[in-house]
Structure 1
């Protein structure tokens, strides 16, 4: 990836970041433990996040805050995740359909779904994107095939589909086997088999209702999203969708590293703060460098999405996503170790952040490529 980018953030992005950080360290941080217990995001918190316009992106034409560029959205999501990555992750997954429709929905699809999503009165379709641990479109088993009568056969199986937001439609992303390109189609939930019930009672992520589904259904041509609109291709929109959970993981891991650093400066052992010991200070320094490197990779590809052909884009996004999740799971695990036995107790929030980053890493990445991520 050879594209260059400016690390200096525009004034409006700096102001946005400050507002997002205020919400993160205020309301999100305050309800994080409660939400971890109940598995439900309070309505006012979901409303605040929706109003920020990063977890549920809706075109201004339909009452939303507009569609930010990819770089700005990633910064916003990561900053919000500083408060609680589980809450923000749940809202990112349930808001994925609004983003795809705002970018590539047809006029009819946008009129049907986006006003309700912007107002919070109805859910946009869920997104059925992930398959096992093979997010690259070339590896998709799901097929969207044009039939002789002009309709399309949508057949396959997906995991981590966010049905907890109350969506009654699903945007299925699959491969056209004849042209070997991405397709996406809106399918009614009534035509889909829910293959597994979502886990309940663990993290705010459970409110997203991440579920495995199967489908074998025929849809009309007007159910398909556009392949390209305003210079954005479906491959680029899918890539953007995949980058968002990686940004959430980085936000949570950065908070865990900061917490562990502060703890290490205050915790005294053998007459001095434990941060003075190389085993602690070197670990924290390594975490800092790894998170920064992953963040720079994330920002770099966000500014270069239109510089790749569709085949190269999927591979490059996969590499960056894996790096982000590896850095995040390592940093949060190390934070627990630095706190020692306290790290495993709910007296400190690092165990919550670790559970969330570990879960996120298993959705888009094979656990073999992310250190310490548990297999599912």
Structure 2
């Protein structure tokens, strides 16, 4: 049996982030959603928290707890900051000392990072189609990646691809946008439905050549655990968005009067809010349990199965929760006078990043 209670340090981290998210992220959310970017001053404050710096002193549980609280403040701002920090996370967990010394200081100072991992439809690590071919002078990288953070502006990028000779998954670090890196499409010109404060987009990698020293030495179970951290960011932020939406809907239901009494007194509304609370708590405990298990699992395929199933089921559940929050507000839930529509859009977009519909019962 896994103990999913937080330590004193983790509880203190959570309380600090609750305050930070409410004070800094929540008020900025609507403006950042419209503008499609986060002000530099706010970005610096998030970076100063140290969560996105590649600090290997954090555990996976620390990370998902932090991601949920930031997501509750604003999922777009949170996902943008966390995904920008994924390059530092991979370098911190799997990079060599030389790679860390070269790249981490700039990332810790606010330099933009990027991880090229996602390929759509909830592909597991074993199903990735991007390839890396080793040659005399280095590696030749090819593939199509989606939801890439900072697709045209990242100073440091890490691409995940399969070694065509061994079939092993490898990660490679490179700077800027070298020849073979194509970021023709950008969601700032063709925005996603949600997460508009996060800068993402598709990238094509065609015969991008990197030296042998670009390959991160961490591989196998170490790389699998690091990629699991990255993938668990999505459901963690989704839980935060759902919690924000349900809390708002519950307060609205107590204030909104119909037929002479608050609509929260009607079973059709009360059951939606109560069921949402249960779904959120269940998702959180499942996510915490998975994060704790990562440190003890020694089989890459077991991690792959655990994370893929967790991501798909939690994202589907949190999309339902945010949709129901909109329903509690009735027609008002669809207008931007209330933030629930933004949280719903965010939950749907998060689900699109890394969800396999076949892993969610009843969706196909």
**1:41 aligned partner:** 38
- Say whether 1:168 aligns with 2:155: yes
Residue 63 of structure 1 is matched in structure 2 by: none
Alpha-carbon distance in 2 for matches of 1:263, 1:367: 32
- 2:138 aligns with 151
User: Could you tell me which of 115, 120, 129 is aligned with 1:141?
Assistant: 129
Contact 1:129–1:172 under 8 Å retained in 2: yes
Distance of 2:75 and 2:186 partners within structure 1:
23
Residue 14 (structure 1) aligned with residue 11 (structure 2): yes
CA distance in 1, matches of 2:4, 2:144: 40
Q: Any unmatched runs of 5+ in structure 2?
A: none
The equivalent residue for 1:57 is: 53
1-side partners of 2:140 and 2:151: how far apart? 26
How far the C-alpha of 1:168 sits from its partner, in A, is 3.4
Aligned residue among 99, 120, 125 for 1:132: 120
What CA distance in whole angstroms lies between the structure 1 residues aligned with 2:165 and 2:184? Answer: 28
Tell me if structure 2 keeps the 8 A contact 1:253–1:329.
yes
From 198, 208, 211, the equivalent of 1:217 is 208
Residue equivalent to 1:272 = 261
When normalised by structure 2's length, the TM-score is 0.92
Match for residue 333 of structure 2? 343
What TM-score do you get using the length of structure 1 for normalisation? Answer: 0.89
CA distance in 1, matches of 2:355, 2:254: 34
Looking at structure 2, the residues matched to 7 and 223 of structure 1 have their Cα atoms a distance apart, in angstroms, of 38
Asked which structure has the greater RCO (Cα within 8 Å, sep 6+), the reply is 2
- Partner residue of 2:352 out of 362, 372, 375: 362
Where has structure 1 moved over 3 Å in runs of 4 or more? 199-207, 366-373
Trace 1:305-324 onto structure 2 (pairs within 5 A).
305-308=294-297, 309-324=299-314
Q: Tell me the residue number matched to 1:249.
A: 238
Sort the Cα spacing of 1:165 and 1:327 in 2 relative to 1 into closer, same or farther, 3 A: farther
Residues 1:237 and 2:233 are matched in the alignment = no
Moved more, 84-93 or 270-279: 270-279
Which 5+ residue runs of structure 1 have no aligned equivalent?
60-65
**Deviation digits for residues 165-198 of structure 1, max 9, x if unmatched?**
8313421101123322211112442221224232
Structure 1 residues 197-222: Cα deviation after superposition (integer angstroms, max 9, x where no partner): 32346665354233332332232221
What is the RMSD computed on CA atoms of the aligned residues? 2.2
Pair 372,24 (structure 1): closer, same or farther in 2 beyond 3 Å: farther
